[in-house]
Amino acid sequence: MKKKFLFNKKDYKILIVGLIFIATGFILMSGGGSDDPNIFNDEIYNFRRIRLSPTLVIFGFVIIFFSILRKK
């Protein structure tokens, strides 16, 4: 008897793409801090950390949602 998987190969590929988007978003969101806690660094408020990274993370979750609920 063959085992039947829940997802097929295409679903797994879409799922991995979504995970890559989420990981990239979190990597871009990191950093920007200062080594000295007494010095404030305005770099944490740049476009990459405020707009681009959260957009990538949300887009990654949408892709994963699509891959899970896609009809076979």
- Domains of the chain, residue spans: 9-69
pLDDT, tens digit, 9 for 90 and up, residues 7-54: 889 999 999 999 999 999 999 999 777 778 788 888 888 999 999 999
pLDDT of amino acid 26: 96
Tokens read off for 36: 């000295």
Instruction: Using the predicted structure, report yes or no on whether residue 64 has a pLDDT greater than 80.
Output: yes
Query: Is the pTM of the predicted complex or chain greater than 0.75?
Result: yes
> How far, in Å, are 3, 10, 17, 38 from residue 30 at the CA level?
41, 31, 20, 20
Residue-wise DSSP of 15-48:
HHHHHHHHHHHHHHHS----SSTTS--GGGGSHI
pLDDT of amino acid 40: 83
Can you tell me the distance from the alpha carbon of 56 to that of 54, in angstroms, rounded to the nearest whole number? Answer: 5
